[in-house]
Amino acid sequence: MMRQIQLRQALREAMTEEMERDENVFLMGEEVAEYNGAYKVSEGMLAKFGPRRVFDTPISEAAFSGLGIGAATLGLRPIIEFMSWSFTLVCLDQIVNNAANIRYMSGGQFKCPVTFRGGNGIAHQLGATHSHRVESIYARIPGLIVVQPSTPYEAKGLLKASIRSDDPVIFLENEKMLNETGNVPEEEFTIPIGVANVEREGADVTVVSYGRALQRVVRPAVDALVKDHDIDVELIDLRTLRPLDKQTIIDSLKKTNRCVIVDEDYGYCGMGSGIMQQIQKPVFDYLDAPIEYVHSDEIPVPFNHYLEEAMMPSVDRIVASVREVTYR
Amino acid sequence: MPAEILMPQQSDTMTEGTVVRWLKKEGDKVSAGEIIAEIETDKATMEMEAFESGTLAHIAAPEGTKVPVGQAIGFLATKNEKVEDVKKKVAGGAKSAAPSAGGAAAPPLASSRKQEGGGGTATLTAPAAPGAGESRPRKQGAPVDTNETGGALGFKDASVGEMHEPEVVVAHGATREQIDTAPVKGEKNNGDGRIKVTPLARRIAAENGIDVAQLEGSGPGGRIVKQDVLDAVEQGVGKAGESPQKAEVRSLRPDAPAQVPVLAQRMSAGAVETIPLSKMRGVIAKRLQQSKQQIPHFYETVDIDVDDLTKLRARLNEQFAAQKIKLSLGDLVAKAIATSLEEHPALNAHFNGTEITRFGDVNLGMAVALPEGLIVPVLRGVNHMGFREIRVRSADLVERARAQKLKQDELSGATFTVSNLGMFGVREFSAIINPPEVGILAIGGAEKRAVVRNDQIVARTMMTVTLSCDHRAVDGATAAEFLGTLRKLLEEPAMMLA
């Protein structure tokens, strides 16, 4: 049975179900317990599971991410909530050095089944220091899994799979998407990590995107391209950024011969640049146009609403790029 | 206010231009600085940039239309304007740009889109029927006006549009990138010797035995894309090994292996064909007539023993082999001409009817035959160049001339012109002066001839050159002295070092 729920509730259901399923799962982070979550994702979870499994941390990302990694290596399955992924720049050492490498450096003696989750990217007028898109920072690190859902359905299914993963997962939400509603089955389900979703099949061009960009501008752009420009777009939602589901993209490009990648990252060394690096050789002989990459402008994220809007990929930019690669 | 796209004046003498090709369709977004159309002027096909950003709302001058300078050829809907509204509003007024009687007939240069493949062995698309018989180079030395300053291209100032409409600029990722790369954009299409074809199109072509060199690309910058190859497959054209309707025009460089151009299609018996003049042909006709009517030409011919020069060339080419540089005899002659002109500035001059202007530098015009007509790219400061630089720079100019990608200032400012028909086996000829220059040198082919040396008949490699001079500015003795110096340099090439 499907029902419409908010993405916020989908996350809460995923955590609740996994905590009911496995007593080793617990939630910690800033304001997750007494305040019911800075964004009310964990609302009611303290009451349900008690202070031993849902608890507040001091404002020190380095401390509590390290705590979670340590707990994970000793057999627990922590869910660490960050108020914003921008704040994790102070705990890169814990995540990149420790979480990502412990399994390898211990020769497999330790695993690190921790899930880090929180708001990633540009939300709305949070300013330059709170608007980082960290996906390309983490997706390039071997040992990490990076996931970014674009619907409530994906949020629930991918978060459940992330919590069950024996490797550390970077789970990237976006504050502006928490209110998004969508169909989510009542029955239990998970969505496999590392598998992209061909959201719309098409013949003319492959548009590759994920997360907020997909929800905010890519889907409207695809609608416009199909309706107004008669361009048959194949739309791929990556869902997982590491490990990247290269094969789905490659198979699609062999069919459509053209590709536009859209994300809200910066272009240089951005997520889309990494994707291009992964696919360009296998698809080279199938390309009928250079791969286009629509990304945010390479400037600090402005606080001003209009400037913030202007720096991000827009429907117009995507439509123009798709028309360019399709010569239409 | 809709923004008008006006026919630019690209040279002083240009009064009208022909829209050869639109690179944008009505309804396409246009960013300031983007190439939107190709315009055939009296001398060359030029790329035209948009000076404002917006949406192309109405094309007032379709491809092939002749339009006077300053008249609108299209209209842009700028921000907040609806394309339909603009189109409705301007469509009436734009009638003035409709094809003029003769204009519609003027064929756009058939090869204007295709000549990406510069190179020494460029394959050019022969002009459509009217020009079919002209793929053979014709009489050289025909003056094309070089007395133009050029560059009056009002559209270069793209920054204006950008500054006024930042939101439009950032609204299109794709075109914004093009602006970012604008400084190198000119090079992109400047016949870098490659045929632009997407990897996919290349693969499909190979699978179907299609020779991509015979196709015209519909993509940006003439890029051949999948659809172009599929169309060719469907229409059964472009098969490798055939060249239907296409003339192979090999490099005119003397060192290039001679290849007879594919013969133009014969006309059927009794047929009569009327060929309207292309813009270029019209200008050539007018200028030649003017030069020959107004300039009192006189001619002086000398035979030059180039035996040592050809040996020197062979030795140099052995040395340059590793650098893949192959000097032509013409390169050595160009150097000698420059040195001679430095000694005889009376020949390195312009004459405007009231005064003579002499120049310290030698800007050498080099007549190049194109299927569409003669063009004279200018090698600047050739007196400062060594053989190698002359080779590299002149090859570049000639290649881009064939690709019709020369800039206006590369077609003007010559102080002396040289025309070489040696590679066609022409022994000697006389050329028509390219005003306001006062001299032009016609170079025949180097060949073994029986000559008398020390009362013996011996075989020597000889070359005959003919200097045409404007007698209003130059006298016979002056010309003879110049030829004497030139002969000395070519017969004793070591003198070029002196």
Q: pTM of the predicted model, to two decimals?
A: 0.50
Residue B287 has a pLDDT of: 86
Instruction: Answer yes or no: is pLDDT of B127 > 70.
Output: no
CB < 8 Å to B167, chain A: 310
C-alpha span between B307 and B304 (Å, rounded)? 9
Instruction: Answer yes or no: is pLDDT of B56 > 50.
Output: yes
Buried b (16+ CB within 10 A) or exposed e, B242-265: ebebbbbbbbbbbbeeeeeeeebe
Task: Kindly report the CATH number that applies to the domain delimited by B3-106.
Answer: 2.40.50.100
- B291-316 tens-digit pLDDT: 999 999 999 999 999 999 999 999 99
What integer is the mean pLDDT of B434-455?
A: 94
Q: What percent of chain B has pLDDT over 90?
A: 34
- B222-242 tens-digit pLDDT: 889 999 999 888 888 877 765
Whether chain A has a CB inside 8 Å of the CB on B172: the answer is yes
Residue B242 has a pLDDT of: 55
Instruction: Return residues 16-55 of B near A (CB < 8 Å).
Output: 29
Residue B94 has a pLDDT of: 44
CB < 8 Å to B226, chain A: 257, 288
**What DSSP string describes B40-88?**
E-SS-EEEEE-SS-EEEEEESS-TT-EEETTSEEEEEE-TT--HHHHHH
- Domain(s) of CATH 3.40.50.920: residues in chain A: 197-326
Instruction: Answer yes or no: is pLDDT of B254 > 50.
Output: no
Residue B51 has a pLDDT of: 80
Q: Which of B83, B197, B198, B207 to mutate to test the interface with A (most CBs of A within 10 A)?
A: B198
CB < 8 Å to A316, chain B: 29, 171-172
Query: Are B200 and A318 an interchain contact pair (Cβ–Cβ within 8 Å)?
Result: no
Contact A267, A298 (CB under 8 A): yes
Query: Are B173 and A313 an interchain contact pair (Cβ–Cβ within 8 Å)?
Result: yes
CB < 8 Å to A313, chain B: 173
Query: Are B175 and A292 an interchain contact pair (Cβ–Cβ within 8 Å)?
Result: no
The chain A residue lying nearest B228, using CA atoms, is A288
Averaged confidence pLDDT in chain B: 76
CATH topology of domain B279-497: Chloramphenicol Acetyltransferase (3.30.559)
- Domain(s) of CATH 3.40.50.970: residues in chain A: 2-185
A61 is a catalytic site residue:
yes
- B314-333 tens-digit pLDDT: 999 999 888 888 999 999 99
Whether chain A has a CB inside 8 Å of the CB on B56: the answer is no
Query: Are B174 and A324 an interchain contact pair (Cβ–Cβ within 8 Å)?
Result: yes
Whether chain A has a CB inside 8 Å of the CB on B178: the answer is no
CATH topology of domain A197-326: Rossmann fold (3.40.50)
Residue B249: C-alpha distances to residues B146, B244, B340 (Å)? 25, 14, 33
- Could you give the maximum distance between any two Cα atoms of chain A, in Å? 60
Which residues 6+ apart lie within 8 Å of B12 measured at CB? B147, B148, B149, B150, B152
- B374-396 tens-digit pLDDT: 889 999 999 999 999 999 999 99
* Residues in A lying within 8 Å of B, measured between beta carbons: 257, 284-289, 292, 294-295, 297, 310-311, 313-314, 316-318, 320-321, 323-324, 327
| Reported CATH class of domain A2-185 | alpha beta
Instruction: Name the residue ranges covered by the structural domains of chain B.
Output: 3-106, 279-497
Residue B381 has a pLDDT of: 93
C-alpha span between B395 and B385 (Å, rounded)? 14
Query: Are B29 and A320 an interchain contact pair (Cβ–Cβ within 8 Å)?
Result: yes
- Low-confidence residues of chain A, pLDDT below 50? none
Sign of CA dihedral B297, B298, B304, B309: negative
C-alpha span between B214 and B431 (Å, rounded)? 34
